[in-house]
Structure 1
Amino acid sequence: MTIKLIASDLDATFLRDDKTINEPLFREVLQKMNEQKIQFIVATGNHLQKVLEYFRNFEGQYQIIANNGAEVMLNGQIQNVKVVPTAALKNIVAITEKYLNDIAVGLAFTGQSKTYMLKTQAQIGHTFQEASKYFQNLILIDNLEEIVEPVLKATIVLNRHETLYMNDLKSILGNSVHVTTSGYGAIDIVNSEVNKANALAYIAKALNVDESDIMAFGDGLNDMEMLEYVGHPVAMVNSDPELFKHDFDISVANNQDDGVLRTILKSI
């Protein structure tokens, strides 16, 4: 087996349930990967600053696919940025207002430097409290015109009716956006060209690596394109059942027991 790149999702894949990393084991894995000139790529729906926070003790030792592929950080430089069309934002808000009783965490619009949330959405349940834990630069706004930078991703978490909501978005917005879910009610709306596979292909081309020489790990439906793209796809044992319908390898353990790291050690 030839492996030159290893990409991994974060939540319920690389990270433990408490959002921590087994840092000693990760250092061991990185050392073994470095010896074989294999690069590690974080491929996540998380925004860039959150990734940098999780991996603050590993600066310069990995590449990043953030916001489900809306931006890439390659060798420290932000590249391949894809934005949500401005014309779609009002429709996203209008559709969301039909599901106010189903919202767990209200609609957030992520830019490169800040995240914006309508005050009407922030008032729903514990939205502001939960969003403030996740987004470092959260700005409350009265209307969409106050967003002063391109939007990379719109995010919402629903308690129920996720499929209906996603179908409504797709029906009204068509091919102008890509709608995906990482499970657990979390839904991301990104540029129509955005998914983890496309971003990974961008990195692979830049590094002159064939997709057959890439290993990838994932647990959710937003990982599907990436797992289908690479030569060595691995679904977590704790994955969405949909992933088990495909011919993917299965990790040796779940995310809580460092399944990604332990599978890498067995594979390289």
Structure 2
Amino acid sequence: MLDIDVIVSDFDGTLLDDRKRLPEQFPALLDELDRRGIRFVAASGRQYYNIREQLPDGMADRVDYIAENGALTVRNGELFSVDELSPEDVRAVVEVTRRTPGCYPILCGAQCAYLEDMVDALRVHSTMYYARLERVDDVLTCLERDRICKIAVFHDHDAEHVSYPALLPFADHMQVALSGDCWVDIMNASVNKGAALRTMLEQMHLSAARCMAFGDYLNDIELLQAAGHPYAMENSHPQLRALFPHTGGHNNDAGVVRTICRELDIAL
């Protein structure tokens, strides 16, 4: 049985199934983790306020958060860090996105997320991932009213081959992360889920060797590298599976919950 202090899990494609549902056993698992003094951390490219909505029945206040792919973190219900993008970088990314057909930028702030267009596909995806979302005439005006920590660029079906190549030149000084079939996330160069996890563990005076982590996509690479016990889901991107051979099971079969129960000898 593993000796664990912290468990951190990505959400979409990892803890949540393909219908965006929590495993039915998760509330009971969280009760048992609380009893053992094991902290659960939700790590996602999603907005913090949106992640909270996925954890009903009082669970939201019992976990910590790595949100916006690590650009914003919350501990014990308090905002812990916001890694703000420079206005110059935000303007440059938005300009390129506006020139790339089929791509739409969402500016992610500490208080809200902002977008200009609301085409059908974007409406479905944006309302799924953002609990606080405001449509504006010009997203750049939001630089004056919020701390922008991430730009999420949406393409309706092929981010890997359309928006990602268009934005890759920014990788010389920024973090450009393919975070799903439709999404590319842009943050400061030092920002990723793994860096956020390391900072969180240091602040809690805990060792990475006693941390389990679960992920399924390329924006989870640094997260899994930062944990002593990394697990890639069976449904992971092939590159992730190649890097991390220990499986976390399938997201549609409550793989995260099953793996935790197996490794920590928990019977639910």
SS in 2 for 1:17: coil
State the alpha-carbon separation in 1 of the partners of residues 86 and 247 from structure 2.
Answer: 37
Task: Give the superposed CA RMSD.
Answer: 1.9
- The question of 1:258 aligning with 2:259 is answered no
Aligned-pair distance for 1:163?
4.3
C-alpha contact 1:91 1:173 (8 A) present in aligned 2:
no
Aligned-pair distance for 1:184?
1.4
State the alpha-carbon separation in 1 of the partners of residues 62 and 190 from structure 2.
Answer: 27
Task: Give the ranges of 4+ consecutive aligned residues of structure 1 lying more than 3 Å apart after TM superposition.
Answer: 123-126
- The question of 1:142 aligning with 2:140 is answered no
Aligned-pair distance for 1:138?
2.4
Q: Look up the match of 1:18.
A: 19
C-alpha contact 1:70 1:81 (8 A) present in aligned 2:
yes
Deviations 1:2-40 (A, max 9, x none): 2110000000100121211124x1122123323332111
State the alpha-carbon separation in 1 of the partners of residues 124 and 38 from structure 2.
Answer: 40
State the alpha-carbon separation in 1 of the partners of residues 7 and 106 from structure 2.
Answer: 30
| Structure 2 stretches lacking a partner, 5+ long | none
Equivalent of 1:174, from 164, 172, 175?
Answer: 172
Output the amino acid matched with 2:107: F
- The question of 1:244 aligning with 2:245 is answered no
Change (3 A) 1:160 1:129: closer
Change (3 A) 1:172 1:50: closer
Aligned-pair distance for 1:235?
0.3
1:1-268 alignment, distance < 5 Å: 1-23=2-24, 25-57=25-57, 58-101=59-102, 103=103, 106-118=104-116, 122=117, 124-128=119-123, 130-147=125-142, 148-158=145-155, 159-160=157-158, 162-163=160-161, 165-172=163-170, 174-175=172-173, 177-251=174-248, 253-268=249-264
Aligned-pair identity in percent equals 28
Deviations 1:123-169 (A, max 9, x none): 54543454245433322223344202111211122223634533442
Change (3 A) 1:86 1:212: same
SS in 2 for 1:50: helix
Aligned-pair distance for 1:248?
3.5
TM-score between the two structures when normalised by the length of structure 1:
0.89
SS in 1 for 2:95: helix
TM-score between the two structures when normalised by the length of structure 2:
0.89
Output the amino acid matched with 1:56: P
| Residue correspondences, number | 259
Output the amino acid matched with 1:265: C
Output the amino acid matched with 2:72: E
State the alpha-carbon separation in 2 of the partners of residues 131 and 216 from structure 1.
Answer: 26
Deviations 1:146-197 (A, max 9, x none): 202111211122223634533442324621x211022213111112221001
| Structure 1 stretches lacking a partner, 5+ long | none
C-alpha contact 1:82 1:193 (8 A) present in aligned 2:
no
Deviations 1:18-77 (A, max 9, x none): 211124x11221233233321110011000110111113213221111001111110111
State the alpha-carbon separation in 2 of the partners of residues 116 and 96 from structure 1.
Answer: 15
C-alpha contact 2:198 2:208 (8 A) present in aligned 1:
yes
State the alpha-carbon separation in 1 of the partners of residues 263 and 137 from structure 2.
Answer: 51
Change (3 A) 1:26 1:153: same
Change (3 A) 1:47 1:249: same
Deviates more, 1:122-131 or 1:154-163: 122-131
